[in-house]
Every structure is written in C-alpha cells, then in structure tokens.
Chains A and B, each alone.
Chain A
Amino acid sequence: MKLKLKIWRQKDAKSKGKFETYYLDSVSPEMSFLEMLDYLNSQLILKGEDPIAFEHDCREGICGSCGLYINGRPHGLKGKTTTCELHLRDFKDGCTIVVEPWRAASFPVIKDLMVDRHAFEKIMQAGGFISTNAGAAQDANAIPVAKPNADEAFDAASCIGCGACVAACKNSSAMLFIAAKVSQLALLPQGRIEAKERVKRMVAKMDELGFGGCTNTRACEAECPKGISISHIARLNREYYAAKFSD
C-alpha cells in the first residue's frame, strides 16, 4: 500500500518544529505502525538524513513508552489500542497520516516525536505508594479482599502511564492517570491507611506541575488505550472531598 506521511520534526527542545512530508510507496498492511516508521527511518538513514526520533520498547502495548498523536488523536483512531499495536491494515491505502508528539505544557518535546513525561514521576512520588518496607508484611492471605474490589483495583492498576489522557484533554489534565492510582490503592485494605494523605498530596502535586483541572469532557476515557474508566475520577473526587472535610 501507499502512504503520505506528515510528521512533526523538531531538532531539540529549544528549536521550533515543523511538519515534513514523506511518501512511502510499497508498505505491507501487515506491518505495524512502528515498523512502518522503522522502514521510513532506514530510508532516511541511507539517504544521509536524520531519522525520526520516537519512543518505543515492548511493542506489545504494555510498557507505555510509545505514544503518538495520529490524525489528531492519541494512539490513533482505533480506540483501546496503543500506538505500537496499530497496524497498517487499520489505515486506508493511499491515505495521509499526520503524526505529532503529545501536546501538553507539562510534557515538553525532547526531539521530534519524543516528549518528557517526567511530571508523571513527580506525581507518583507525591504519594502513589503504600508505605510498607520489605520484610514487614504479614501472610498475603491474612487480609481478604472482596473479589469485586480486587478486580476493580486491578482494572485501575492496568494504567500504563502513557500520557494519552493528558494529550487528549483540552485542559491537559492528568486526572485519569492520578485517579487510576488513587482508586487502585483506595480499593485495597492495604492502601486505605494512607488514603487521605495520598489523594491530597497527589492532587496538589498535579496542580503544582501545571496540569489543568478536570471539566468532565471524558476525552481521557475515550482515548485511554487501557480503557481506564472515569468512574475512577468519581472515586478520586469522593476520596478527595472526604479527605478535605476531615482536615
């Protein structure tokens, strides 16, 4: 199949970027989207041009490294899919594909399609953990957890930290990302003890780092490759107000 690609090129964080156009004449629908970029890069390299920088590692939808804004949507149009899981058979022969990095003030561009998501680290460090040292734990079955809670905690915990929720949100809010962690730990008895402090600290950190607030547009949920539900945002809000009121 044939493709026309418009790809964002930016030398480094300080430079101004712009779109470059590339044409591929014979790619196979079986190729993954990233394999198509590999292929384009191999051509650029042999022509003596700078290959396109993009992030990837597992290439199976679990590490959260890859994250491209494709045709105006994070991770492309397929839904519940990471960029690395897209295949060219998901696109029409002869179509134009526009590829950009995540756009959010708190995720500055490093080069081309790579952005710096370090802000997520800061949020996690603010409280996304349970304060138990290795060696201190009781038997794993000493505290039963009702299956529905355990299952819901798992669903929340399956966030891969890709940042699509932020990129999708018109306010660049990190609410879904934080809610996933707050909700996971709030649903488990092990996590309840620090629940109040955790939610306050994580939300405060998010505000401090310049992420916007949540205005319930649900774009995050629609674009999250792991289908994290905004019901977790509702739980976060409940946890947050309960924590604030008890202050």
Chain B
Amino acid sequence: MNKLNAKIPDGPLAEKWTRHKASLKLVNPANRKKLDIIVVGTGLAGSGAASTLGELGYNVKVFCYQDTPRRAHSVAAQGGINAAKNYKNDGDSVFRLFYDMMKGGDYRAREANVYRAAEVSNLVIDHYTAIGVPFARDYGGLIDNRSFGGVQVSRTFYAKGQTGQQCLLGGYSALTRQIQAGTVTMYSRRELLDIVVVEGRARGIIARNLITGEIERHAAHAVVLATGGYGTIYYLSTLAVNSNGSAAWKAYKKGALFANPSFIQIHPTSIPVLNEFQSKLTLMSESLRNDGRVWVPKEKGDKRNPNDIPEEDRDYYLERRYPAFGNLVPRDVASRAAKERCDAGYGVGDTGLSVYLDFRDAIQKQGAKAIENKYGNLFEMYEKITGESPYNTPMRIYPAGHYTMGGLWVDYNLMTTIPGLFAIGESNFSDHGANRLGASSLMQCAGDGYFIIPYTIADYLSNQIKVARFDTKRPEFEEAANNVKGRIDKLLAVNGKETVTSFHKRLGKIMWDYCGMYRNEEGLKKALTLIKELEEEFWKNVKVPGSIEGVNQELEKACRVADYFEMAKLLCTDALNRKESCGAHFREESQTDTGEAKRIDSEFAYVAAWEYNGPDKEPTLHKEPLTFEYVKLQERSYT
C-alpha cells in the first residue's frame, strides 16, 4: 500500500504546514530560470500557480483551451470566496472554517489538508485585494462579508454575484504581468491530449493546437494540472460546455491514481431544463437562499399562479424539515429534498421538475432596492433565460450537476502518484471530502495556486537542477504523440451516422439517472452495462466531420466524449464500491429512518484511489485510511 503515502507532516494540526514549509527544500533564485514548469489551466488555481511561479523566476509555460486565460471557467463562479478573517467578529477562526469544511464534507477529507486550506485562505484575500479585486465593501470602506451555504458565520467575500469573474480577472492580470515580463509563456487554444512520462517522471505534455490542428510536444521538469472539474460528464451541468475531464483522465491512464471519482456535488439551485435542445444549465447562486424561501404547493398538481397560492397552501419544506438551518441547509440536503418533493408529485412548472425560490417576503422586508443590490445581476440573468422577473414571480429552480470533489489523488505536497505531476484546484480530490461547502472552492483553488504549490514544487525541483532540458524528439514523446494521432484518426475514420453531442447527451442521461443524486447497486450495475453498450455504439457510429488539420470543434468534442465514456465506468465502479451514503454520494441502501444519508465509518472512512490497469481490465482499488484527531465524527444533522 505504499503507493499511497500522503506524507502528512507530524505535529499538532495548527503547526503542520508551518513546520512542513520549514523543512521543504528551496531552489536558489539563480537556478530557477533553468527549470521549466508546465501549468495546464488558467482558472484560479492555474493562473495563481503560473503567475506566482513566474514571479519566483521559474520558466513557466501555461496552457488553456480558450482563446485567452481570462475565460477559464472560474469566471462563472458567482457567490463568493471564503476566508477565516473573522472581520464580522462573529466567532470565526481558521479552526472553525476547517471544522465546517470537515463536517460539510461528511468526514471524508484529510484533516491536515483541510486545515491548511483554511489557514492560507486569509492570504488569498489579502493578495486579491492588493492586485485590485473589487470585493464588496460597506459604507466605512472596509470589506463586507456574507453568510453562505449552510454555515452560521459570515465569512464569504464577494463581488456582487460575480466573485469568480473578479477573482479570475485579478489572477489573469497578474498572469499577463508575468507574460509581459517574459517569465511565463502563454499557449492558449491548446488542448492537452496526453502526459509524457520519462523514466517514471512527468516530463511534458502533448497538446493539439486548436487553430492549426498541429499535435505539439512540450517538455518541462514538472507538470501542474489545474484543469478544473468533470461535471459535464452529465452533459447538462452548470459548467462551461467545453469543460472536460480529459487531462485528469490522461494522467490516470499514465499511472496517476484517481480518488473518489463518484463524489459529485449536485447544486440545488439551477434554472431547470426548459427545452429539449438545452445545452447547459445555469446556476443561480446559493447566496439567494439567504433571502429566498424554497417552497412547493401543499396540494399535488396545484396549477395556480404561485402569487395566488396563499400562505397556508404553501409547503416551505426545508424550513419544515430542518428548522435549525431552514433554507440554508447544505447543498446535497437541499438537492435531495427538492428531488423528493418533485418525485412525490409536488413539483411545479410544465415538467413538474422544479420548485419555487421566492423573494416576496425579503422584498417586503428589505425593499426591492436592497435585494437588487445583493442579487441584481442574478435576477437579470434569470430573466434573460426564462423571460420571467424574480421581483414579481418566484424563481423556479432544480438541482444540476455542479462540482467534482473527486479528482486526481495527491499527497500533502499536491503531487500525484506520478513524480513530477501535480494537481491543484478542482482537478485534485483533496479538500472537500464527499461534499463541498459553498465558497470553499475558489478559496482552495487560489490557495493551492498562490500559497501551496510554489513551496511544494520547489522541494521537488530542488534536485532537478542538473537535469538538462528535454528533447521532445525522445521516444517517449514520439510514442505519446503517435498515440494521440492514432486515436484521432480512429475517431475520424468511424464516419457513422450520429453526432458526438447526441452520444454525449445519451451518456449524460445514463449518468444522471443512475449515478446522480440517488444511487443503488442495481442501478449502478445497469449503468455499467448501458455505458459499455453505448461506448461500443459510439466507436461504430459516431460522425466526426473534417480532419485533424485546422479548426475542428467537433473533433475537440469527440476526444472529450470518448474519454468520458471511459471515465463514466470508473465513476460507477467507485459508487458501487462505496456502499455507504456520505455527503453528495447517496446510496439508497444506506439511509436513516428519516431518509437522511447514513455513513458507515467503520467500513468506509477511507479515500478510494483507483489505479488503471489497461483498457479492458478492472482498476485496482487502493484505500487511504482517514484518521480523525481533531474533529469528532458526528451524524450530520441539520434539523
């Protein structure tokens, strides 16, 4: 089991990171420019890592598939970013943030990593403020905070409903400064299609130039993946439509272990599906639940206009079931409760697959202006999509695939099981256990990028100084590039009768039905069969037009969807293995009398890390046991 040495430092929780930093080796400033680092991804994690490593003097190459790093999907985060500043004097602390994340993650994360994420959160806010991120302020000119997603302190920093955009543009501007300075070279419109391993270490990547179609080879002393989440495996999700799991998946196939792949958060407040051609689901930030009240009619099939349904005919089911937390219960709880009501026939809208999120009372109490100040842009967004104004009529919402807690397994240094290959941000598995607390992802992504990876990568690189730059003509690069071309040729050669998107939709439906909010053994087994069948059909009947050369957006999609077929099987295998319910992973076989998730700590208090064994072989499960010294495992209770 020595494949999984998490390398957690000794010592008391609050001192681990400080002690560890003191023990990490450094790279002399004069040597840094001899060391090449590839960073794939320019979200909060990637832009943070790249600019900081550039500032330190390393020679950095950054990749993203968009035309500019400023469009990475972090741009879409709405609600906010957490930090343990305790600016509100309401009893917050690093320890409390740590505790909330552990509890929110249903005790399936590592204490040491989570504590560190909470610890560096304050530095993140300081840095973003210093580089010009316009966080919301109060009338005294100081930064304002709000409460977010099921916690009882106000520790969320925000910039209207565009926090991700503002943080990302801050990170992007720091990145452009390094591009100008020449420490960072930007390779936009590139898609990673393989990782190159030389003598057991990650030494480069193969990327397709999305304009010329050229299959490029890039070498480096170390590779950092910051490629985000794989929620688009459901086809419909809150992610940007080009988001993909391919980078992490290629790493897995090259030997990096993949941890807890089935842990996917379903967000409770997305705009519901409105038409059969729908290509994505738009999130309505959960900050809305601070003021909006969730309800459905008490009477099944009540078709009255919501404004005509009197108070006594409304079922504010979250407030009813969870009086202590009400509308602010965690995401998984809110999502399942919405599905429960809809499945029982109380859902609203044409499809019956939505519930109301109502601002009537908040507007009455605080005035429309106050509500506009807080949520103006979200209300506008909602109106653009649905044609209805939330000022006058309740929003309709429904759960949607949103965030992947699972990801590449990393040790305390954020290194995968391939030496020299690091994973940061949403692409790793490390900090959110089985469920992520709202506003903690931006915090973790930025923390990883600015304040963790620069230290830990130096330790790895400290003995690589004498390693000369790699020639990309080496056989390892040759082989990887040929494999990539071979796969592309194979996709183009099928020349069948069904579009990539159509296959993606069908795969997404299988995943949503059997590996979504509710899972059970029979369903997961069925899903495995269905996925295999559909995958075979894909390789026989997909139609990918055009050639490898030049712009070919269908080919881009085809590469991603082909990977998703493989990944979907691992998700189901993982969900099948974990016979307990925890966080977002709800196994119907494991629930309490009141229908809440039931963990089985005696059997499942571990990280499930999967090892690839070849195309038609079952993966091997490695278990990293989780031990808890500082938190007391409790049944999560929000009643």
Report the stretch among B130-138, B399-407, B486-494, B625-633 that lies at the interface. Answer: B130-138
Give the most central of A35, A36, A53, A57: most B CB within 10 Å: A57
Alpha-carbon distance between A188 and B128 when the two chains are bound, in angstroms: 13
Q: Could you say which residues of chain B place their CB within 8 Å of the CB of A56?
A: 241
Which size class do A's interface residues fall under?
A: 35 or more
Which of B55, B67, B141, B274 is close to A134, meaning CB atoms less than 8 Å apart? B55
**Residue pair B71, A63 in contact (C-beta under 8 Å):** yes
Q: Is the CB of B76 within 8 A of A62?
A: yes
Residues on B with beta carbons closer than 8 Å to the beta carbon of A38: 277, 279, 501
Given known pairs A38-B279, A190-B131, the reply for A141 and B176 (CB within 8 Å) is no
The B132-163 residues at the A interface (CB cut-off 8 A) are 132, 134-143, 159-160, 162
CB neighbours (8 Å) of A42 from chain B are 499, 501-502
B369-383 to A contact mask, C-beta < 8 Å, 1/0: 000000000000100
Interface members, chain B 427-471 (any A CB < 8 Å) = 450-451, 454
A131 CA to B55 CA, complexed, in Å = 10
Chain B residue with Cβ nearest A36: B277
Q: Which of A30, A58, A64, A184 contacts B73 (CB 8 A)?
A: A58
Q: Which residue, of B130, B140, B276, has the highest number of chain A Cβ atoms within 10 A?
A: B130
Number of A-B contacts (CB under 8 A): 213
| Interface residues of A, dominant DSSP | loop
Q: Which of B577-610 contact A (CB under 8 A)?
A: none
Among the stretches A1-9, A93-101, A122-130, A210-218, the one at the interface with B is A122-130
In the assembled complex, the CB of B544 is this many whole angstroms from the nearest CB of chain A, namely 8
B129 in contact (CB, < 8 A): yes
CB within 8 A of A65: which of B66, B162, B501?
B66
Residues of B within 8 A of A150 (CB): 134-137, 141
Given contacts A50-B545, A61-B381, A134-B451, contact A35 B277 (CB under 8 A): yes
CB-defined interface of A12-50 with B at 8 Å, one 1/0 digit per residue? Answer: 100000000000000010111011101100100110111
Q: For chain B residues 31-61, which have a beta carbon within 8 Å of chain A?
A: 48, 51-52, 55
Residue contact A58 to B240, C-beta cutoff 8 Å:
yes
Which of A108-116, A166-174, A228-236, A239-247 has 4 or more CB atoms under 8 Å from chain B? A108-116
20 cross-chain CB contacts under 8 A: A30-B274, A31-B275, A45-B543, A46-B499, A51-B554, A59-B282, A61-B384, A81-B384, A87-B384, A121-B68, A121-B186, A129-B132, A129-B174, A130-B131, A137-B130, A140-B126, A141-B143, A151-B137, A154-B159, A190-B130
Interface pairs A-B: 6 shortest CB-CB = A144-B141, A137-B130, A129-B173, A140-B129, A30-B275, A137-B126
* Besides A57-B71, A158-B165, 13 other A-B contacts (C-beta < 8 A): A42-B501, A46-B497, A46-B543, A58-B75, A63-B73, A133-B55, A136-B130, A150-B135, A151-B137, A153-B132, A161-B70, A161-B71, A190-B129
